[in-house]
Structure 1
């Protein structure tokens, strides 16, 4: 994902600039989503694209436009039904894929669950409550809040050029110690600075609050209830779950997580993630720039924007480097999960989403279209023969 540092504007100016994304509007859309009658915990309910108001030929065109760009997989879900999925040669529905920074959105979910259980006081609780030694280093560090860690506005100095600080953290014998020793670049809450250290700090804070690593908590309270049978989530040398990356999932299970948020945190009648947390997570907290010219921002470890300049439907999404995405479009009751290995074109998934969006035609079923279905079948077969292009794999 983009690594940027942007000075925050006053709220009055920010609101006018980012009017294209509305947290209030997207919550209204989420509130209109009805609970599913059949949940994909053990098996996905499938439907043809046309049965869910989507043109198969449009999906075929989307696949053809992006499949040669080191796209590894996609899973498209509408109204809780799996309507299309595709995989390149080396991947399938059972293989775990690294999802990189999508881990941050899972860390955020656990934070919301911990707040709901009373293990954290709330998003305004200060890091100094868990790390009292911070005040001796720099009093501003002790004043950093949970909200600021989750919205990339802690104020920590973090060099994203060539992932320098992230590499240094990963090479350090004590990852959290490395993060806590970073100097302050600005006052907390004043600047958006994408920082892997924030998410790892959040994981360390959560481990203190809940008493076990985030990965173990997520396994029992989140992933198992979703029906996730296999996953991987790495830890640092001290056993702290890596809150910023090192998560491995199947594309189908990525889609389940998106569907959970589309359902307002509800799954089979149980609120796994508090609805209030889902709604808080998709509110505009910061305003990083998007390269496609759309106006949106960042919530609690979720990206927020319109789909494109031409498609104003709002989307919130989890994003990982190289093409990992979980897109959630409440207006259309739609989830799109993607994996890939395109380090030179990190907006490839956003273009795939825009192509897929053009295929959404109706809230009602479309007539059966055998010709369009044949086009989609052919496109998926061609996609299944694709192999990575080395020139797209490295920067």
Structure 2
């Protein structure tokens, strides 16, 4: 991590990295301003990719439940596939991780923690791992011996055990019980456990009573989000890795907040330096040559960054593009330079959906267009 960024985040200064001046932007009130784009070949090509005819089982190929495009604060495209509607809070799966990072950004601004704090300072069960820092968890770099395998390899999967079997009563404690197999911060290993430890640490910082409502008071209410549901495990800790639900329009509010560097109207909800951290590639990440289209990890968000050893994961999208991504094709894409926010809810099961293809078509349809 660049030293200037670490210093800004450590001392809590509101650095101006990625920040923009206050402008007369369009902001949603109780509802979004809507100016739907006319049907054009480019819009039709986007819709054809996102909403192809479903097979009888609905389990093969691209299956989009919702697609929403916001241009400069105005809804320019919106389409749903039954049973999902504009009023449906959809399971976000691992988009929840990025959402919780925004909740943590408010706690950071309030001075509850620093990136270089030991996790054990804020979550006592991590006392057996004194060298793991909060920043390590945020970069999925705790060093824990963790296996993020899903339904295709359930017997050795740490995350399946955490969510559904022996770890589900207290997911953070289950994660803390794992040993280290790497130095903290030395390597990236995607871990839903890391994200749930962050949720437990926040609970210890705030206390049970304030914690119970904190995602709402800190983030959802300031943004006008009314549909959010967030499940807790049996210990009362939010399942930050997986179990938040929101409508597409409310999810887009988080995207607009991030597009505008943590600002909502005249209120700076997130420090610009926190958003900059979210959008900074983890320094010790190395792209897998066998998976060239994998996004680059930032601070619990995913980046389209070109690295010294690899090109952009999504070649047809701008390098500043970043996203919250979830299982089975959930996505919140933020394209700051194009002033675009794109929400996709889905139920993809066969790996045929490609981020780059949807982004390419969305850019062809909406980049440069004024609402």
Aligned to 1:246: 243
2:358 aligns to what SS in structure 1?
helix
Pick one of 148, 162, 173 that aligns with 1:169. Answer: 162
Aligned to 2:256: 259
In 1: Cα distance, 2:229 partner to 2:352 partner: 23
Residue pair 1:258, 1:335 contacting (<8 A) in 2 also: yes
What's the TM-score once normalised by structure 1's chain length? 0.77
The alpha carbon displacement at 1:179 in A equals: 0.7
Aligned to 2:118: 126
Structure 2: gaps of 5 or more residues:
3-15, 53-61, 305-311
Instruction: Assess, with a 3 A threshold, how the Cα gap between structure 1 residues 362 and 175 changes in structure 2: closer, same or farther.
Output: closer
In 2: Cα distance, 1:118 partner to 1:273 partner: 12
Q: Does 1:359 align with 2:365?
A: yes
The alpha carbon displacement at 1:133 in A equals: 5.2
1:353 aligns to what SS in structure 2?
helix
In 1: Cα distance, 2:315 partner to 2:356 partner: 12
Q: Which has the higher helix share?
A: 1
In 2: Cα distance, 1:290 partner to 1:325 partner: 23
RMSD: 2.5
Q: Does 1:282 align with 2:283?
A: no
Residue pair 1:284, 1:296 contacting (<8 A) in 2 also: no
Residue pair 1:303, 1:316 contacting (<8 A) in 2 also: yes
Instruction: Assess, with a 3 A threshold, how the Cα gap between structure 1 residues 356 and 189 changes in structure 2: closer, same or farther.
Output: same
Instruction: Assess, with a 3 A threshold, how the Cα gap between structure 1 residues 133 and 248 changes in structure 2: closer, same or farther.
Output: closer
Residue pair 1:214, 1:241 contacting (<8 A) in 2 also: no
Instruction: Assess, with a 3 A threshold, how the Cα gap between structure 1 residues 295 and 241 changes in structure 2: closer, same or farther.
Output: closer
Render the CA deviation track for 1:23-47: whole Å, top value 9, x for unaligned: xxxx97x545764543213121122
Instruction: Assess, with a 3 A threshold, how the Cα gap between structure 1 residues 312 and 268 changes in structure 2: closer, same or farther.
Output: closer
The alpha carbon displacement at 1:216 in A equals: 1.9
Aligned to 2:86: 93
Map 1:324-335 onto structure 2 (within 5 A): 324-335=330-341
What's the TM-score once normalised by structure 2's chain length? 0.82
Q: Does 1:103 align with 2:96?
A: yes
Instruction: Assess, with a 3 A threshold, how the Cα gap between structure 1 residues 270 and 190 changes in structure 2: closer, same or farther.
Output: same
Instruction: Assess, with a 3 A threshold, how the Cα gap between structure 1 residues 292 and 356 changes in structure 2: closer, same or farther.
Output: farther
* Total equivalences in the alignment: 331
Instruction: Assess, with a 3 A threshold, how the Cα gap between structure 1 residues 77 and 123 changes in structure 2: closer, same or farther.
Output: same
Residue pair 1:323, 1:347 contacting (<8 A) in 2 also: yes
Q: Does 1:342 align with 2:339?
A: no
Q: Does 1:114 align with 2:117?
A: no
Q: Does 1:178 align with 2:174?
A: yes
Q: Structure 1 residues 63-72 or 158-167, which shifts more?
A: 158-167
Pick one of 172, 190, 200 that aligns with 2:186. Answer: 190
Instruction: Assess, with a 3 A threshold, how the Cα gap between structure 1 residues 264 and 320 changes in structure 2: closer, same or farther.
Output: same
The alpha carbon displacement at 1:126 in A equals: 0.6
In 2: Cα distance, 1:93 partner to 1:133 partner: 41
Pick one of 53, 56, 59 that aligns with 2:43. Answer: 59
Q: Does 1:271 align with 2:268?
A: yes
Instruction: Assess, with a 3 A threshold, how the Cα gap between structure 1 residues 346 and 119 changes in structure 2: closer, same or farther.
Output: farther
In 1: Cα distance, 2:215 partner to 2:99 partner: 8
Aligned to 1:315: 321
The alpha carbon displacement at 1:91 in A equals: 1.1
Q: Structure 1 residues 294-303 or 261-270, which shifts more?
A: 294-303
The alpha carbon displacement at 1:290 in A equals: 8.3
Q: Structure 1 residues 187-196 or 267-276, which shifts more?
A: 267-276
